[in-house]
Amino acid sequence: MQEENPQITELSNIGDQLDADASIIDLIVNASPPQPSTARIHTVPSLVKETDYEKYFVPNQVSIGPKYFGHPKLQLVEKLKPSFAMKLLLEDKELLERLCTKLGQAELVKELRNFYEERLTDQFCDKEFTKMMVLDGCFILYYIQFIFGEKFENCRGLNSYQIAFVHQDLFLLENQLPFKVLVEVMSLVKTDFHRKIKLFIDENILVRRRLKKRYTTLRNASEFKDVGIIFKPSGMMTLAHIEFQKRWFIPATLKLPPIAVDDSTKSLLLNLIAYEMCSPDANDSWVTSYVSLLNSLIEHPDDVKTLRTAGVLENYLGSDQEVAELFKEIGKDLVPNRLAYSEAKNSIQMHFED
């Protein structure tokens, strides 16, 4: 006896069910279309997720809203949020209670939950959800008002590396807060946030009304040579100082702390950079800043040769290509102190524009 094909049996069963319940045409005509999501804070479409999702869509330092709440790598900044909130609210516990009461109203909580996909907020009771809205709203406003574009005294435990990624994290699609939360916080805090919010948004608009006349960017060493700038070792035993000199009848000169590159350099620099990333002092990033500077100057092996000939760099690796590749690898995604070498950089920019 021939054995029955299980696939044919399964298809037959399906056919019986269709005949019993409805015709195929009825099933097609009466099928309900999937309901569109009512959420206004969206998740990344699956098609776009194929583009290195972790790198481009997952926050690096701070979780805003429910999507990445509790993510292990975001806990350092999460623990800082209460101190940011109290600083914003001028250490006024009564003001904090008023804010929690305001954002904790049942109707408002329901409205705020509806900004997100339901599955993202199910894990939170109303009290937990309100706490998240309060802390995240205060964090965003504190960052915009007191850290963005300001000196580092207000950073309260954030270093320059973290600050740069917080800025990026606040513009991630899935890492958002209803603007209504910010409005409620601003209504209680007697600070004019509007100017700084406008600056913060303007800074991130892709299409500008006009480009800045001058922006500071360092070229590679070969381009320095092309405009008559020569390199010299500074003789300084610190990475915190570079000097640009320009005088009549004397070639413009950029003096840099000299560095020797050998087999141990990559490990040493990476560990020093990692140490600086862990430092609570936002100004304490001179190794990072100097490596970023060299990464700008070194684009090709010829740039290494220029610095080597000038006595700024000693190469014990064997080839200039290896040195160029080393700084390209180490210098990737570094966040230098934004004030580092600013005077020299501005002078160099003016020289290029003359």
Q: What is the pLDDT of residues 278-293, one digit of tens each?
A: 776 666 788 989 999 9
**Token code pair at residue 120:** 């993202």
Determine the straight-line distance between the first and last CA of the chain, rounded to whole angstroms. 95
Q: What is the pLDDT of residues 207-266, one digit of tens each?
A: 555 545 444 566 788 888 888 889 999 877 888 888 988 877 788 899 999 999 999 899
Looking at residue 6, its pLDDT comes to 47
Instruction: Report whether pLDDT(201) > 50.
Output: yes
CA distances from 16 to 7, 8, 73 (A): 14, 12, 53
pLDDT, average across residues 142-146: 89
Instruction: Report whether pLDDT(19) > 80.
Output: no
Q: Which residue from 220, 193, 202, 205 is spatially nearest to 293, judged by alpha carbons?
A: 220
Q: Which residues contact 218 (CB under 8 A, 6 or more apart)?
A: 293, 296, 297, 345, 348
Of 86-95, 314-323, 339-348, the poorest mean pLDDT is in 339-348
Question: Phi first, then psi: what are they for 253, rounded to 5°?
Answer: -130, 135
Confidence of residue 50 (pLDDT cuts 50, 70, 90): low
Question: Phi first, then psi: what are they for 259, rounded to 5°?
Answer: -140, 140
Q: What is the pLDDT of residues 115-130, one digit of tens each?
A: 998 889 999 999 999 9
Q: Which residue from 66, 63, 58 is spatially nearest to 75, judged by alpha carbons?
A: 63
Give me the residue label for tokens 């250490």: 91
Delimit the domains of the chain by residue range. 1-27, 46-202, 221-353
Instruction: Report whether pLDDT(151) > 70.
Output: no
**Token code pair at residue 20:** 């019993």
% the chain with pLDDT above 90: 45
Looking at residue 197, its pLDDT comes to 86
Instruction: Report whether pLDDT(342) > 90.
Output: no
CB-based burial label for 90 (10 Å; 0-12, 13-18, 19+): exposed
Confidence of residue 36 (pLDDT cuts 50, 70, 90): low
Looking at residue 27, its pLDDT comes to 61
Mean pLDDT, the chain, rounded, equals 83
Of 92-106, 169-183, 237-251, the poorest mean pLDDT is in 237-251
Q: Which residues contact 163 (CB under 8 A, 6 or more apart)?
A: 147, 155, 282, 335
Of 51-60, 151-160, 194-203, 294-303, the poorest mean pLDDT is in 151-160
Q: What is the pLDDT of residues 297-306, one digit of tens each?
A: 999 999 999 9
| 16/24 Cα distance (integer angstroms) | 11
| CB of 220 closer than 8 Å to CB of 299 | yes
| CB of 236 closer than 8 Å to CB of 259 | no
Confidence of residue 199 (pLDDT cuts 50, 70, 90): confident
Per the model's pLDDT, the better-predicted residue between 55 and 11 turns out to be 55
Looking at residue 21, its pLDDT comes to 55
Instruction: Report whether pLDDT(269) > 70.
Output: yes
CA distances from 31 to 23, 25, 26, 28, 42 (A): 12, 10, 8, 5, 26
